[in-house]
Structure 1
Amino acid sequence: RERRAALPTETVQALLELHAQCEREALRAFMARAFKDDDRRFQGELMVRPLTPEQKQELCRRNEVASSDRCMAALLELSDELDDRIGAGVYSVPGGYQRFQDDQWHVVERYWQVPGKGAKAEEVLQEFLQSKEAVAQSILQTDEALTEKEKEMAAERGRAEAAEREQQVLQQKEAELQQKLEDQDRSYQENLRQLETKLEDERKKLLEEQGKMMDQKLKVPGGPRVLGAAGTG
């Protein structure tokens, strides 16, 4: 499974679909090799419990870590010039707040153009923007080109945008949790379906073998005879 997955995948759904494909293949291989399991102990365990749930959880965790690492690395590189300007006091001038906003938005635009960010892209971006919020507010309050009313309106707008971003991240997390729950149910249903197919195939095979054994007994001399066929005394 890990050999196939190039982490991070773009979405959690993409990772779950990859896992489902690998799971189906592993389940088919298990069923094909599960002979001499007369008490159905292994097949029953496979039906009740999803296939390797610990491995799936670990794969999801590693996918999230890989996504976070890639996103943070991208933002650190893209915001390097922005941080230099902040440190140099470039924005501590009249009109500096708008210039800071423009430069920060440019960083965000370039960030969304980076490929392969994975499922944590929105969350990591929110954390990055939150880390710059104190600086943004400081620049805003020292911008002499703005009136107090304009500063308050800009601050309120910033709070509203932050709340909206947080809501988007929460919705994404809820959607991902729902996807994981649906995938768990899909896994159980797939295990059940393949087990039922296996049991039906074995039932047919057993009936065929019993039929062959009966045919052979009828052909063997001295085998079962029809009543009344024996000679009279």
Structure 2
Amino acid sequence: MAEEVHMSGPICLIENVKGQLTANQEALSILSDIQQPVVVVAIVGLYCTGKSYLMNRLAGKRSGFSLGCTVQAKTKGIWMWCMPHPQKPDHTLVLLDTEGLGDVEKGDNQNDCWIFSLAILLSSTFVYNSIGTINQQALDQLHYVTELTHRIRKRSPCDQDEVGDSDEFVGFFPDFVWTLRDFSFELKVNGLPISADEYLENSLKLLQGTGQKEREKQLNLPRICICKFFPKQKCFVFERPAPGKKLNQLESLQDQDLDPDFVEQVAEFCSYVFRSSKVKTISGGLRVNGPRLKSLVTTYVDAIRSGSIPCMESAVLALAQTENSAAVQKAIAHYDQQMGQSVKLPTESLQELLDLHRTCEKEAIKIFTENSFKHFNQVFLKELVTVLETKREEFCKKNLQASSAHCLALLQDLFSPLDEDIKQGTYSNPGGYCVFMRRIKELKKNYYEEPKKGVLVEEVLQKFLQPKEDLADAILQIDQILREKAKEIDVEHVKAEAAHSISKILEEIKKQSDQLMEEKEKFYQELVQELFEKMEKEQAQLWVEQQRAIDKQHNCTTVGQRPASPFRVN
């Protein structure tokens, strides 16, 4: 189980200094430690409308995010508060409180548009907070949503097609929640009570028959965007929390000091957010954890700072580059660890080494597959395969070296008494040649009986015995007068044995070569099958996302009788 992150209070995630957005490294470091899936709830709205109070209640606190009790905006940039999710074990709740929109001290709404866009890009539930009712003025204040097609792009320009990014926003946009503060009206239409959600739905119906086409189009634009972009809409209304001056001490007020209806409405809002907010996901349905959220933050902020438009696909690509590279290293580390524990060099045969390599190789490929995504051109998989092949060759080389060293040490130990006998002249007498050859044969037998010599048993033996051939000839010459006939027989025997040994060496080399080729063929066949299956799964997921977008577009057009999207992609 991943370790839970407990923050005592919020910290600035994206700093806003003189209109320049910068990611705070301390906050990014906190995200790096969150390995659990994250549910990200962001809130935006005009300044001094009580956004921070709602976020504090989601955090289970009365204070934390700064409450603005004066006409001056308090929150600057985007602030983050991470905590264990209260209803979803092994999940982390990330709350994002944004600086108030429409602050007259800024004098430029371009910065507000970027804050609004970042809140959408980073969240899985997007809360828009406003005062009063949903009227045309409230919708006009939500003009930021109409500018999203100029602020957010799903794909890079070269990948866009006739459908356009705006039609695909619903595939990765968060759920939309509109919170109406200080709402003092009855929820009724034509004298009949309605729910807050029905109130929102009625408010988003398109205006028709005004007689002014351009004005009608302008008035309907926010309505179209909310319905078209966001996969799900929800509405909550809140009574005024307390009368008069008490609002200035909202942080210190207990529930019994607040309006009972307001307390109930806040509890209902928190319950809904905890229950219905989903894990943040990106293209392909990939669940976002802390490090992935960190990557999204840095990618989007860097794009804005450079004057570019944040692109979802580019962010996913950057994340894939980072994670796939890490997945390669993780797979290699696992391979090295398993081979280090499993392989005891030298192995008795090449096949034994290849079998161990194959087992560890398959585990490494599995680890890479589990920790990677978006295999563009299989670049990282090819890199991993190349590294593993190189490591296999290195193990084969080390296996040969270990076998050679072990066999040589064993031969030197076994033949040391023979060398001492030669120095003492034990075989320099009649019949010495036969005794010498018998001794050689006994020592070779002892050598063959020793286990774990590896794959170079014959090669090392033949190389070791070569210097002793001249010695055998010398002993044979001494013995030739008395054992001339025996000499001829033994010479032929030595030649035959040498020919047989050479034949065995050639056979072994061919066998090892055949084994290597067979192993490589098996591996590539299985690898192709695994890649095919993985690509099918990713294609199926992408089809689901596209189908969801098409269905949403169809529903919006059918139910609301809304006109086609006003946006056009160049």
TM range (shorter): 0.7 to 0.9
TM-score by length of 1: 0.84
2:345 & 2:505 partners in 1: Cα distance?
A: 21
Query: What's the counterpart of residue 382 of structure 2?
Result: 45
Query: What's the counterpart of residue 25 of structure 1?
Result: 363
Query: What's the counterpart of residue 519 of structure 2?
Result: 183
Query: What's the counterpart of residue 131 of structure 1?
Result: 467
Alignment map for 1:48-197 (pairs within 5 Å): 50=386, 52-143=388-479, 144-147=481-484, 149-197=485-533
Cα drift, residue 69 of structure 1: 0.3
Q: Which amino acid aligns with 2:436?
A: F
Equivalent residue for 2:536, pick from 200, 218, 229: 200
Cα drift, residue 210 of structure 1: 4.3
Question: Gaps spanning 5+ residues in structure 1: where?
Answer: 227-233
Query: What's the counterpart of residue 34 of structure 1?
Result: 372
Cα drift, residue 41 of structure 1: 3.8
Paired residues of 1:122 and 1:169 also in contact (CA < 8 A)? yes
1:163-190 CA-partner distances (Å, limit 9, x unpaired): 1111111110111111112222222223
- Choose between structure 1 and 2 for higher RCO, CA contacts under 8 A separated by at least 6 residues: 1
1:16-41 CA-partner distances (Å, limit 9, x unpaired): 1111111111111111222133x334
Query: What's the counterpart of residue 341 of structure 2?
Result: 3
Change (3 A) 1:46 1:192: farther
1:6 & 1:105 partners in 2: Cα distance?
A: 30
Paired residues of 1:28 and 1:194 also in contact (CA < 8 A)? no
Identity of aligned residues (%): 36
Question: Gaps spanning 5+ residues in structure 2: where?
Answer: 1-338, 560-570
- RMSD (CA atoms): 2.5
Paired residues of 1:71 and 1:121 also in contact (CA < 8 A)? yes
Paired residues of 1:68 and 1:124 also in contact (CA < 8 A)? yes
1:133-181 CA-partner distances (Å, limit 9, x unpaired): 111121112114302x432232122111111111111110111111112
TM-score by length of 2: 0.36
Cα drift, residue 132 of structure 1: 1.6
Query: Structure 1 residues 199-208 or 82-91, which shifts more?
Result: 199-208
Query: What's the counterpart of residue 223 of structure 1?
Result: 556
Paired residues of 1:9 and 1:63 also in contact (CA < 8 A)? yes
Runs of at least 4 residues off by over 6 Å:
none
Paired residues of 1:67 and 1:117 also in contact (CA < 8 A)? yes
Larger strand fraction of residues = 2
Cα drift, residue 204 of structure 1: 2.8
Cα drift, residue 43 of structure 1: 5.7
Change (3 A) 1:131 1:208: farther
